[in-house]
Amino acid sequence: MRRGLAVLLLAAAQVAQAFSDAEVRAIAGHGPWPPAFKADPSNRVSGNKEAIDLGERLFFERRLSSNGEHSCSRCHLPERNWTDGEARARGLALTDRNTPSLNNVRLHRWFGWDGAHDSLWSQAIRPILDAKEMGSSAAQVAKLVREDADYACRYRKVFGTPVLDDDKVLVDVAKALAAFQETVMSARTPFDEFRDALVKGDKAGIAKYPESAQRGLQIFIGKGSCNICHVGPAFTNGEFHDTGIAFFIEPGRVDPGRHEGIKKVLSSPYNLLGKYSDDMARSSATGTRHVVLEHRNFGEFKTPSLRNLALTAPYMHNGRLATLRDVVDHYSNISPDRLHSDGEAILKPLKLSDRETRDLVAFLESLQDGGGNYKRKAFAADCR
Amino acid sequence: MRAGLLLAFLAPAALACELPGGAAQQVKSAATTVVYRTPALKVGEHFAVEFAVCPAPESVRVDAWMPEHRHGMNYKPSVVALGAGRYRADGLMFHMGGRWEFVFEVRSGGKTERLAHSVRLE
């Protein structure tokens, strides 16, 4: 028994020694998890319990769509880690992009693959109005909230006013939807347990993390340099990159990505510099005020978070890669010729061996909490 | 003699290029000195730069880029003059770890001078 314990501690010490001080600092930077809640200053009902409840009801509400069949939850299924498992989302028609998971969405700076929105609430407006998604209108949304007694009651309680101007109601509905989506957070993962153990010097805790995942983590922060873009506790820098994925949607039609996203956010009446933001000081609008459009933005897409990645296949902005192994192979064999000549000089083929690829996948899989934390509710129309 | 003494007395103060509040980074050329200060830098967080340019220029611009990665920031900073050769630049963000280079483009006497200073962000 004593000998067994000694062997275990020795093994733990050997594992701990496998990480240099610089590597430990890099790993520590991916936590702690979960982060503390910070209310969105541009949304006056952010963190408001009644707004969260209203937003949750609206998230599953099919009457928000023009044909009464589509809701936010049609593509963002809680059971599928808030995505749909399809390569490209399908609402009223097939769209051009993969449905991003809503997990940890409140931590983002820009929203959508192209960052065409600068707040969670303005992002929530887009699918409601998009002809390919829910195909609705401000008038239809306001009519629902005005004529459904339960929604009208809840709206009045949350926003303190009766249902009046259609555009204002649309924005308020989006703010309630955002308040709910802010609560969608992934839980702690095997990686988080390891990271905390490493920071504390808890050798027994360190030893519980599979060796393959540890080797994969070393590739992630070392040879792979994946952490250049996948930084911080959410494993994303929240910015945009050309990763060599073809941006042709079909012959003759391209997805301009961030290039169009910047134009859209700057011209949107719902951006953080506009009249609908509740942040009077505009302290949350620094990015919108200073973002700059460059030619290299063409074909750039947002760095996704890697938390619960294993539950969100298929991958990339157009769902082109089916498995995590395919994603790692993409970066392992990437052709520099596929990247913009005037773009970033970051990506080079990693040329990983089969074992290195399996290790990197094992690490990425250790970033999942198992999913299924959300339980659907039966909503009673009981607002008084 | 009296004028010479007065000049000698004033010269150090007139040449000193500093920011109130102490420690700052310094970048120098033969003609120009820039001192600047940032908060603790973090990947993916907007920050402001306080800086002074000596002698006070006609205009100054601030930018930053990653020489090895061959790209700049995704944001264009705005510079506000605070008077007496002091400025504040807002809206900067380093969206990746690695070596960044601050670039101060100082325009004086009809000429533009470029002063650069490297920082490493983990």
Chain B positions touching A238 (Cβ under 8 A) are 44, 95
Q: Which of A228, A289, A343 has the CB atom closest to B96's CB atom?
A: A228
User: Can you read off the two tokens belonging to residue B61?
Assistant: 């611009």
Q: Is A188 on the interface with B (CB under 8 A)?
A: no
Question: Considering only CA atoms, which of A186, A158, A190, A192 is closest in space to residue A172?
Answer: A158
Task: Write out chain A residues lying below 8 Å of B47, CB-based.
Answer: none
Beta-carbon separation of B70 and A29 below 8 A = no
Q: Is the peptide bond before A32 cis (omega within 30 degrees of 0)?
A: yes
Chain A residues within 8 A of B44 when measuring between CB atoms: 109, 231-232, 237-239
- Complex-level ipTM: 0.88
Hey, are the CB atoms on B91 and A290 less than 8 Å from each other? yes
From chain B, pick out residues whose CB is under 8 angstroms from the CB of A25: 122
- At B65, the amino acid letter reads W
Tell me the three state secondary structure of residue B3.
Answer: helix
Report pLDDT for A58. 98
Using a CB-CB distance cutoff of 8 angstroms, which residues of chain B are in contact with residue A228?
Answer: 96-98
Q: Please, are residues A347 and A244 in contact by the beta-carbon 8 Å criterion?
A: yes
End-to-end CA distance of chain B: 55
Per-residue pLDDT of chain A (384 residues; tens, 9 = 90+): 444 444 444 444 445 448 999 999 999 999 999 999 999 999 999 999 999 999 999 999 999 999 999 999 999 999 999 999 999 999 999 999 999 999 999 999 999 999 999 999 999 999 999 999 999 999 999 999 999 999 999 999 999 887 789 999 999 999 999 999 999 999 999 999 999 999 999 999 999 999 999 999 999 999 999 999 999 999 999 999 988 888 888 888 999 999 999 999 999 999 999 999 999 999 999 999 999 999 999 999 999 999 999 999 999 999 999 999 999 999 999 877 766 656 666 778 889 999 999 999 999 999 999 877 898 889 999 999
B36: part of which helix (H) or strand (E)? strand B33-37
Rounded CA separation A167/A138 (Å): 6
Cβ distance of B68 and A228 shorter than 8 Å: no
Residues of chain A neighbouring B68 (CB-CB closer than 8 A): 345
- Kind and range of the H or E run holding B52: strand B46-54
Residue B16 pLDDT class (50, 70, 90 cuts) = low
Residue A348 forms contact with B (CB below 8 Å): no
CB contact under 8 A, B91 and A286: yes
B94 vs B66: CA distance, rounded Å: 9
Q: Does A77 touch chain B (CB under 8 A)?
A: no
Judge contact between B58 and B107, C-beta under 8 A.
Answer: yes
Please name the residue that has the structure tokens 């992934």: A186
Inspect the interface and report whether the beta carbons of A344 and B74 lie closer than 8 Å: no
- Cβ-contact A216, A363 below 8 angstroms: yes
B68 to A345: CB separation less than 8 angstroms, yes or no = yes
Supply the pLDDT for residue A340.
Answer: 62
Q: Across all residues in chain B, what is the average pLDDT?
A: 87
Tell me, yes or no, if A38 comes closer than 8 A to chain B by beta carbon: no
Strand order, beta sheet including B46-54: B25-28, B33-37, B46-54, B86-93, B78-83
Contacts A227 to B, Cβ<8 Å: 97
Tell me the nearest-neighbour CA distance from B70 into chain A, angstroms.
6
In the sheet that B111-121 helps form, which strands lie side by side, from edge to edge?
Answer: B71-72, B59-66, B98-108, B111-121
pLDDT digits (tens, 9 = 90+) for A259-296: 999 999 999 999 999 999 999 999 999 999 999 999 99
Asked if the C-beta of A26 comes within 8 angstroms of chain B's C-beta atoms, the answer is yes
Q: pLDDT for B34-78, tens place per residue?
A: 999 999 999 999 999 999 999 999 999 999 999 988 889 999 999
Predicted TM-score (pTM) of the model is 0.91
Q: What kind and span of H or E run contains B63?
A: strand B59-66
Q: Is A234 helix (H, G, I), strand (E, B) or coil?
A: coil
B26 has a pLDDT exceeding 70? yes
* B contact set with A (CB within 8 A): 43-44, 46, 68-71, 74-78, 90-91, 93, 95-98, 122
Task: Find the closest chain A residue to B67 by CA distance.
Answer: A345
| Gap between the Cα atoms of A278 and A107, Å rounded | 18
In angstroms, rounded to a whole number, what is the distance separating the alpha carbons of residues A251 and A267?
A: 28
Q: Which of A292, A343, A345 sits opposite B75 (nearest CB)?
A: A292
Quote the pLDDT of residue B20: 87
